[in-house]
Amino acid sequence: MGKSDAVQFTYSGLLNKNGKKVVSVRFERDNGKDFADGLLPDCAIEKQQGFSEEEIEQLEVYLMENADDIMAKAKEMSKITNLL
């Protein structure tokens, strides 16, 4: 990635979008000035600002390589949230 700032990654619990279980993901850097929002299991960035096309491709590869793990963690997070 071109900028020296670290990229922060956050994700939601399981969400229901059009009857489909999805997880919303967000990559941020430079205190949120640069961001990329996407969805799993699609592994696609849907909205972004400040990242190059090459960086977006790298983020999507990261999502593809880690989708199962992120989805599993989001499912666990949803279980905890539902208890509260």
User: Is residue 7's pLDDT more than 60?
Assistant: yes
What span, in angstroms and rounded, lies between the C-alpha atoms of 18 and 77? Answer: 21
- Check pLDDT > 50 for residue 83: yes
Strands (E), 1-84: 8-11, 15-17, 20-29, 34-40, 44-49
CB 25 within 8 A of CB 70: yes
pTM: 0.85
- What is the length of the chain? 84
Q: Give the residue extent of every domain in the chain.
A: 8-83
- Say if residue 68's pLDDT is above 90: yes
| pLDDT of res. 78 | 78
- Asked if residues 10 and 31 have their Cβ atoms less than 8 Å apart, the reply is no
- pLDDT for res 9: 97
pLDDT value at residue 35: 98
Residue 80 scores a pLDDT above 80: no
